[in-house]
Amino acid sequence: MKVIGLVSGGKDSCYAMWLASQQGHEIVALANLLPQDTDPDELDSYMFQTVGHQLVGCYAPCMGIPLFRRKLKGKSERQDLQYTQTEGDEVEDLYYLLAYIKESLPQVAAVTSGAIASDYQRIRVENVCFRLGLMSLAPMWHQPQRTLLRGMIESGIEAILVKTAVQGLHPAKHLGKDLQTMEPLLHKLNMSMYRCNVCGEGGEYESLVLNSPLFKHAKIVLDKAEHVVEHSGSVGYLRPVEFHLEPKSTSFLEGASKLAVEHGDVREVPEEWEPPRRDHHRLSFEHPEKSGNYDVALSVREGTDFVQICCRPRHTSHLPPDLTEADTSNALFNVLTALQACLGRMGLSLNDGYAVFVHLYLANVGHFASANSVYCKTFPSLEPPSRATVQVPLPSGCPLLLDLLLARPSPGASHLVGRTVLHVQSISSWAPSCIGPYSQATTYRGICYLAGQIPLLPSSMTLMAGDIVAQTKQSLMSCQAVSIDVGSSTLHAALGLTVYVAAEAGEQGVEQVLECVEQALEGDTIEEDKTSHAYSNLSAGSVDLCGSEADEDDVLPPLDSYLQLSSLARSAGLRPHVTVVVVGALPRGALVEVQPLLVDVAFMDRLEEAIKERRSSSSGGDDGSTVKNTSLTAAAETAATLLNAAGPHSNKSCAASDIDRYQKGLPAGRSDVRELSTTQSSAQSPHVGESVKPIISLKHHRWKSEASSFLDTEESLQLSVKEEDLMIATNASTEKVVVPSSSDSQAELDCQQTSHTGARSQSETNNAREHSSEHASGMGAACNLTSPLTDSDPAAAATAACEMESKPPPEPNSFYSQPVSCQSLVSSIFHRNKLLKTLIHLPVAAFVQSSSSDQSSLQSRLQRAVEGILASHRMQLGHLIRIMAWFDVHKVPSSFTLSVNTTSSNSSMDSGLHITWVPCLGVSSSACDNCAAVVEVLAQRL
């Protein structure tokens, strides 16, 4: 691309230009802002370096390209992190300058800047670039500063210190010293108590470039400078007085070394010049919900803190099998029109910072560009939600499916508090940029939603070459870079990883992806600690994230703050759900896309501290009751039920054995179990309705964990959960559920189904296979959730189920001709003793229907099961954040596929729970690799 170099005279802006040129870009013009004639050299600016501006005019003859300049008129009016157009702000001076250059040189497409760690500066440059239709290039963004400084020196940049403002740097001693001479001292200050930023990112010093590899014609020689000392001698800067150019080539005429600055191509922006008005077009949402040729069905689930809306457009007439881009664009326009109207009735809006995450499923990902153009005109450019886009097998007449998660403000609040967005639009070597109204990560109420990452090379934004393993590693590295930036970790603090795999990768590709992800989670392939010490290939625009082992005797320097993995994230120790979804295709022809869901560990830590303080203050003293109450609460929140059995202990010791079992084709599991027993009780639990009787008694036998000891004495906790709701079947065989525990004692929970008459017998048990469980930071239980509804005798059904287990699986879409018994697996993840995420794996048998008119039975059974899971943890449906399911179109009836994707908003399939059903070509997880559907339940009770 043809690029404008934004220069201040400092080393960072010059090195950024050189890196951009190494990546193939052409610097065709320079841009500089300088003080007014009556202003001092050193302005109180948060954005621009002005010290040494006298020499910047020499850059034009040195590089042989035009330099455009404008004198600063504005001040730092808007000083919060985010920026919107503000009259009188210094950022508007930058807008005027770049707008003038673009008008003079229409071929320019991007702007380089020397941003390294300042979000304040990066966001403002991106704001101006977005308004002008330019790309922002920040090749040094979030790179190790020690690497950058060494790269500057090795590239041939010659720069001197023109300002010092930190303890350890003295104006009289260090002003005018070159970078190479100062490098050892800067490293020493970096490792000292001062923690000086090596590149001066904290304002410790400023530099002035006198020579650069981009100075093809001449370099600058500073003949005389005046020392200006301020603040009692602690801060000082140089004011250039005399300087000249020294030619580098014979192309300079004789006497060129005496050229004055005005002989270069320096162009001032005229005072009277005004940029043309730009109309930032937005879609008009004044259309009815049924507009054009599409009927938009909206499925809305409103919770206490979140709203989930699924939008399904359906063409009112028959569409040809080959959808056009116009069909997709028109459908999305109708969807967004209906969505805005729906949100307006709810008092919400896409432009008020409520949106958290968007799933955009396309019938043809080849139409992504057209759909994205409509999307970009709708969602806000300021702090937009994160997004994932894939191709799925939608039914005829449905070009797309859109699922939106929104946060809702507290009652009485005028705006949302606590939502943060990471939106880096600059192209850099850090992670793929998000140029448009979609962000890398959105965080709210303790959970961070990361955008799907395809294997793009960040510096070029091109798809990396290589097999699916290489692409998976690249996607994971991008995810980890983003997660560290938001204070979390994909490798240590993830609740789940949804990995989309393109169908062309095949079954072998799915296996390779799972193996690669498991290895990464074990720390075999991605080591974030080594990231900032891998100082190679920076000139090519990339840093090796894997790095190499340092010698044992080496004393490694401290990490730059923006590269540090927080201790809270590292200690989270979560083992995430890994769900692999096979889809038709991915954007840009990628083979894999990774979409992490993370815990905001800092928020959870603050929350726990606040709870402890509140309990301590309410107890009136430390008499031991606080500890006991906390233990009881933790035990209640982690109590095992038939659908999930949980313990808050770490699974690190079991991780290796789980992978071994997975590689051998065995289900993941634990060797330690604990006893649960089913009893009848008439006692009422305070968190459920009067009509529900507790029938499950959980006996605690001194659960232990790394963080706490729960009950020192045996306690009995009554769980008011209907057993038939948990089993998702009214007549099933007796199942033996194995529940993990930190205890060495073993026992079993004989889960017996209640007959239609309500009679049940403890003595009537059947021998059934033990189901192992898989869990990350909590536990999972395998249960028979899917026996078809029948009116037959329970014992006969159990016998038939056992016989069926020895038979081969049915062919796709032929299973409902005979009853098939197959186990479902439920796996839950906890953080700080709080249930956050549950996966329900549904086998083929779950979709067996007793009649064609009973399409809603699975939905209603799932709702009862989810209610049971939540109730066992003192939660309700209002605590749900979102619930969605991926189902394999090859394993479920075609009638089900059509029902869930073309239903109207008041259909029975959407009643109650409002599950977003997403068709795919295959789905599996690290807990179960043979299922027909995976239901993700994300819930939270703070």
pLDDT at 864: 83
914, 826 Cβ separation under 8 angstroms: no
Note the helical H segments in 593-688.
601-619, 625-637, 652-663
pLDDT tens, position by position, 109-161: 999 999 999 999 999 999 999 999 999 999 999 999 999 999 999 999 999 99
Which helix H or strand E contains 829, and what residues bound it? strand 824-831
Structural tokens at position 853: 């008119």
pLDDT at 413: 73
Confidence grade of residue 570 (pLDDT, cut at 50, 70, 90): confident
Same domain, 519 and 579: yes
Same domain, 50 and 107: yes
Same domain, 191 and 307: no
Q: Which amino acid is at 49?
A: Q
Dist. CA 129–CA 125, nearest whole Å = 6
Same domain, 49 and 137: yes
pLDDT at 128: 96
Confidence grade of residue 514 (pLDDT, cut at 50, 70, 90): very high
Asked whether residue 702 is domain-assigned, the answer is no
Same domain, 241 and 301: no
Strand, helix or coil for residue 94: helix
Asked whether residue 803 is domain-assigned, the answer is no
Confidence grade of residue 263 (pLDDT, cut at 50, 70, 90): low
Residue 504 burial (CB count, 10 A): 12
Same domain, 36 and 144: yes
Confidence grade of residue 279 (pLDDT, cut at 50, 70, 90): low
Asked whether residue 576 is domain-assigned, the answer is yes
| The pLDDT of residue 44 is above 80 | no
Confidence grade of residue 396 (pLDDT, cut at 50, 70, 90): confident
421, 354 Cβ separation under 8 angstroms: no
Same domain, 202 and 310: no
Asked whether residue 886 is domain-assigned, the answer is no
pLDDT tens, position by position, 766-797: 333 233 333 333 333 333 333 332 333 333 33
Asked whether residue 637 is domain-assigned, the answer is no
Dist. CA 351–CA 348, nearest whole Å = 9
Dist. CA 478–CA 698, nearest whole Å = 43
- Each residue of 252-273: b (16+ CB within 10 Å) or e? beeebeebebeebebbebeeee
Same domain, 345 and 207: no
| CATH number of the domain residue 11 falls in | 3.40.50.620
Task: Give the alpha-carbon dihedral of 332, 338, 342, 345, to 10 degrees.
Answer: 140
Same domain, 360 and 214: no
CA separation (Å) from 68 to 33, 96, 213?
A: 9, 11, 21
Mean pLDDT, to the nearest integer, of 219-247? 90
| The pLDDT of residue 642 is above 60 | no
| The pLDDT of residue 82 is above 80 | yes
Mean pLDDT, to the nearest integer, of 835-848? 85
Asked whether residue 852 is domain-assigned, the answer is no
Asked whether residue 183 is domain-assigned, the answer is yes
Choose among 461, 453, 482: nearest CA to 592: 453
**Angle subtended at Cα 163 by Cα 161 and Cα 168, rounded to the nearest 5 degrees:** 85
Asked whether residue 586 is domain-assigned, the answer is yes
Confidence grade of residue 738 (pLDDT, cut at 50, 70, 90): very low
Mean pLDDT, to the nearest integer, of 902-907? 42
| CATH number of the domain residue 462 falls in | 3.30.1330.40
Choose among 380, 395, 831, 367: nearest CA to 599: 831
Same domain, 222 and 309: no
The rounded mean pLDDT for the chain is 74
pLDDT at 145: 95
- Each residue of 151-184: b (16+ CB within 10 Å) or e? bbbebebbbbbbbbbbeebebeebbeebbeebbe
Prediction pTM value:
0.77
| The pLDDT of residue 705 is above 50 | no
Place of tokens 């937005």: 282
**Residue 215, domain extent:** 2-249+262-268
Higher pLDDT, 668 or 891: 891
Same domain, 455 and 391: yes
Q: How many domains does the chain fold into?
A: 2
Same domain, 243 and 326: no
